[in-house]
Chains A and B, each alone.
Chain A
């Protein structure tokens, strides 16, 4: 596609509900990142995929957060039993690997999650 696409743009969840956020990276981009951006803050790293392999999940805040990219393209970030502190914008980014190096990351418009 022309850019990184995320859906839904907005999601309201009741506390305790499970949610799934989708990211469609730029076609051919090997690397995919998820970030969490709380209100008034900069994005914080959650997890990183290279193709279908999740190489770094050090930023996932708890075991309620789970991400997958089964075929190396579309990725889903799942949050189980949502809590109010999960309210944030979730950004997805993708990039190309050139000679083993990640190039510039292209970001989607994010999903704003509000837990009520």
Chain B
């Protein structure tokens, strides 16, 4: 069975600085997808960035980028130029490329942005 581990329950970053959130996962599959979701107090999960396992190039979305290390089964999220609106829970998620495509989530990292 696949598992996702986020070892940082909480992180803090100064506004305009850069922060990296860690995520490791375990799977025996070769084809899968990885995601970072943001969950603000409104509870709605918002997709931040996604990575296809077959792509070697790290995904980037504006201030958000990932460091995907397939052999190490590591998928970290880097947030550059942090903004107050980035404060939220961040969840790393795994999704198989076959089957029902359910997401397997980590336990989350609470990001605080300090003004």
A residues in contact (CB < 8 Å) with B: 31, 33, 35, 40-45, 48, 55-56, 59, 89, 91, 93, 95, 101-102, 104-105, 107-110, 112
Contact = CB atoms under 8 A, between A and B. Distances in A.
B55 interface: no
Contacts of A104: 47, 50
A65 B95 CA distance: 24
Interface of B: 4, 37, 42-47, 50, 91, 93, 95, 97, 99-108
B22 to A, nearest CB: 15
Contact of B103 (A40, A43, A109, A110): A43
Contact of A48 (B42, B100, B105): B100
Given A40-B107, A101-B97, 17 more contacts: A33-B103, A35-B103, A40-B108, A42-B91, A42-B106, A42-B108, A43-B91, A48-B101, A56-B100, A56-B102, A59-B102, A91-B43, A102-B101, A105-B47, A107-B45, A109-B42, A110-B43
Nearest to B99: A56
Contacts of B4: 42
A42 B47 contact: no
Centre residue among B37, B103, B105 by max chain A CB count within 10 A: B103
